[in-house]
A and B are shown apart, each in its own frame.
Chain A
Amino acid sequence: MKTSTILRYLLLAVFNAGVFYAIPLSITFEAWFLLSLIILNAFLVNTVYLTDRFKPMKWILPGMIFMISFVVFPAIYNTYVSFTNWSTGHILNKTQAIKVLEDRTFTPEDQKDIQFDLYVLQDQNLEFYFFADLDENNMFFGKAVTDEDIMTTSYATHEPSLKKNDELIVPDGFYVLSGKEQIANADVLQELSLVIDSKTRAKIFKISVFGASTGSLSSTSQLYTYDSNKDALINNSTNIICPAVDDNFECDGKEIDPGWRIYVGTENYEKIFSNQRIRAPLNIVTKWTFQFAILTVIFSFFVGLLLSMILNKENLKFQRVYRSLFILPYAIPAFVSVLVWKGLLNPDYGVINNWFAPLYEILEIEPIKWLKTKESARAAVLLVNTWLGFPYMFLITTGALQSIPKELIEAAKVDGATGVQSFWRITFPLLMVSISPLLIGSFAFNFNNFTLIFLLSGGGPPVIGSEVAVGWTDILISFTYKLAISGGRGNMFGLASTVTIIVFGIVLLISALSFRYTKRLERIYGNI
């Protein structure tokens, strides 16, 4: 066998080992989408590399796998999530939620308020021991353990001999920690408990510097038991039966957290279109997203075109210098320049308000609170984005202008056209033919220009009185981000995915539009 063949089978073996490792785990975690992704990839890889039937695929598949897994698949998954109630409080599936609830414990009423003396001791191996003096008949001594070790430890024993005349008799080989020493070890000690019986533990309640510390009882009695016949939880403390209603268990009409995620059909979509408290902010955001993207393209295109018209002149000196200086804002990563602009725009300390200070005085107005009010934030976002975008527009319009044959303009001049006429009738239309796909591209880019919005204004200032976190400069994608990740009102994955679907739709429209231009270019260049 050739080395390459051996290598191929070796790689395949490693890949399949990974697959066989991941499949049972995905099943355990009930990660069904992940499981289907793994199976799909395993199927593709094995058919392509074990048979010789799809030879060209051997070249394409490695790259394709990543595209399928992390672009196509998330898009499908996103659609699924938009039909669920996936959000904080409904992150787990039902089995996991039941398990979390069944792990809850409660302390019975008669044990709740019991407090007692608790001594902390250490043996020669520096392991901690507790001595809990509940009453004459209950003086427990034993090793104090963390929750992890609770199952493997033995119960504490009743040791009345350790206490005489209210004084602790320290057993041989042990050392009693003073209050100060306990405080120094408080982090560790708080995690420890003395196991009295299968349900009861003693823990440190309060460390005191003088004398014995105070202990309290905590119980491991299971609070809820799940009854699969009734599909309900039974509260062992109150004996109330809590039936499963949709995505939560409800005790006396009160939902208990956590619930679980379920398929909710088009509920999220209905919310978006008919629930005024979500629809109103969404309307604001959608409108601004379009305004922002369109105005950005117009401003930067206008500045770029103006400059290239003015500087594209025969025998004009320093043309190259201009070019290389104008490219600078474009060359710097946006996450850096936005940070710098944020400093310049700072209303209290920034340079821009320093410049305007005389103007504010003459006009007798308050200094502009950049980024703090709706209007100033929107103006700032557009200003910075024009700064970021005009160099690109300058470069592409300069290129396009230079490719327009001079004879055309000359001919128009001969026919008596004025400069303005020849610009609007000849230069501009020709320019638009080559530039418009790029303008659409720029629109599409800015439509989702998360970095600028999120880093410059954070989407703010906030729209007051809205149910969801949203700001006046939020665009759809930053709004989605707030819904899903950082709005401070939990993770609303389901709703966020639904908004994403809208963005998908709009991007699809834009793409269809630009595709028509690509088709035109394709006819010229024959790329396919």
Chain B
Amino acid sequence: MEISKFTKWFKEYGWRHLVGLIFVTFAIYPILFVLTNSFADFANLTNSKLVPNSLTLKHYKLLSGDPLVPYFQWLYNTYKVAFLAALFNVFLGTLAAFAFSRLQFKGRRTGLLTLVIVQMFPSFLAFVAIYLLFFQISDVAPFMGLGTHFGLILVYLGGSIGFNSWLIKGFMDTISPSLDEAAKVDGASEYQIFRKIIAPLARPILVVIFVITFIGIYSDFILAAIFLKDKNLWTVAVGINTVFVDDFNADWGVIAASSVIAATPIAVLFIFFQKQITGGLTAGSVKG
């Protein structure tokens, strides 16, 4: 009796769980592995295993004490660049979106289409030209040339502003026009309508766009790698992928620890905003 019940359950549900478990293993094994290894009390990759014999914080301590590997400086740089770039990105994107959503003018449709078309080319495609352009900017205005965070932020700003304005504009369109018409009747200026009505109501989407842009910039490798030559100015993506490539075996514990620190906040952010990020609205803007 019991057996046939089990067979029935297995035919209906059980095998699904079996397949599910196999792929769950595939999905999370590398993540668990690096997580446990970062705390594990062995030094290198050769004798690493999923469940360590004893735990230690030594890899994390090594990360904070090595002047040749300014890991926390990289982390700080990354947060600084990503935060500033994402913030200005959302701010400027909101301004543009307001015009496209609320103001009537010639060329509005063309402008919107241009935004979409331009945004289809990832900004890093023309990295050769960006490199050469900033090479010249280095001569004229060294503070924003190659090797500076300022220059890098500028490039990131250009990179996703079109797409972001487009998304914000889409959201603003859903805010009822009767609200701002009423305000207009009461004598509110364009700026007041933006400041007091549209921007506050659009806040949910602005937060999402900020997070998406932040994650995208945080995860960027190519532009940061081209731009930043000074070790102390590197972002985390450049740093850990430049310093640890020579000796994987010996560095494994530190690689694991640095991976955990670099990935955790982003993973948490991502999971928290999962629905919005993966929703059809923003599909493909970060990764996919």
Q: What is A's interface to B at a CB cutoff of 8 Å?
A: 4, 22, 25-26, 29, 31, 33-34, 37, 55-57, 59-60, 62-64, 66-75, 77-78, 81, 86, 303, 306-307, 310-311, 313, 315-318, 322, 324-337, 339-344, 346, 348-351, 387-392, 395-396, 399, 434, 438, 441-442, 444-445, 448, 450-451, 454-455, 477, 480-481, 484-485, 493, 496-497, 500, 503-504, 507-508, 510-511, 514, 518, 527-528
Contacts and interface: CB of A to CB of B under 8 A. Distances in A.
B112 A387 contact: no
B124 to A, nearest CB: 7
A510 B122 CA distance: 13
A395 B278 contact: yes
28 contacts: A22-B141, A25-B141, A31-B139, A56-B105, A66-B158, A67-B158, A67-B161, A69-B154, A69-B158, A71-B118, A75-B125, A86-B132, A310-B19, A316-B13, A316-B17, A325-B24, A329-B28, A330-B270, A343-B34, A343-B256, A346-B45, A396-B280, A396-B283, A438-B283, A441-B284, A511-B117, A511-B120, A528-B113
B45 A349 contact: yes
Contact of A60 (B111, B123, B219): B111
B288 A441 contact: yes
B44 interface: yes
Q: For chain B, what secondary structure do more than half of its interface residues adopt (helix, strand, loop), or is it mixed?
A: helix
Contacts of A37: 133
A327 B263 contact: no
Interface in B6-56: 13, 16-17, 19-20, 23-24, 26-28, 30-31, 33-34, 44-46, 48-49
A389 B219 CA distance: 16
B27 A332 contact: no
B20 A307 contact: yes
Q: How large is the interface on B (under 10, 10 to 19, 20 to 34, 35 or more residues)?
A: 35 or more
Contact of B267 (A326, A328, A350): A328
B13 A351 contact: no
Q: For chain A, what secondary structure do more than half of its interface residues adopt (helix, strand, loop), or is it mixed?
A: helix
Nearest to A518: B116
B131 A485 contact: yes
A493 B126 CA distance: 11
A480 B123 contact: no
B27 A325 contact: yes
Given A60-B95, A387-B26, A313 B118 contact: no
B95 A63 contact: yes
Contact of A344 (B30, B159, B190, B237): B30
Nearest to B264: A332
Interface in B84-98: 92-93, 95-96, 98
B20 A310 contact: yes
A324 B20 CA distance: 12
Contact of B31 (A332, A342, A438): A332
A499 to B, nearest CB: 9
Given A66-B154, A326-B27, A507 B96 contact: no
User: Top 10 A-B pairs ranked by shortest CB distance?
Assistant: A70-B158, A59-B99, A441-B284, A63-B92, A78-B129, A74-B129, A331-B270, A31-B136, A349-B45, A74-B126
B128 A78 contact: yes
Given A339-B244, A348-B249, A454-B222, A334 B17 contact: no
A482 to B, nearest CB: 12
Nearest to A69: B158
Contacts of A325: 24, 27-28
B276 to A, nearest CB: 12
Contacts of B99: 56-57, 59-60
A507 B125 contact: yes
B69 interface: no
Nearest to A498: B128
B150 interface: no
Nearest to B21: A322
A343 B118 contact: no
Given A310-B16, A481-B222, A29 B140 contact: yes
Select the residue from A55, A62, A86, A399 with max chain B CB neighbours within 10 A. Answer: A62
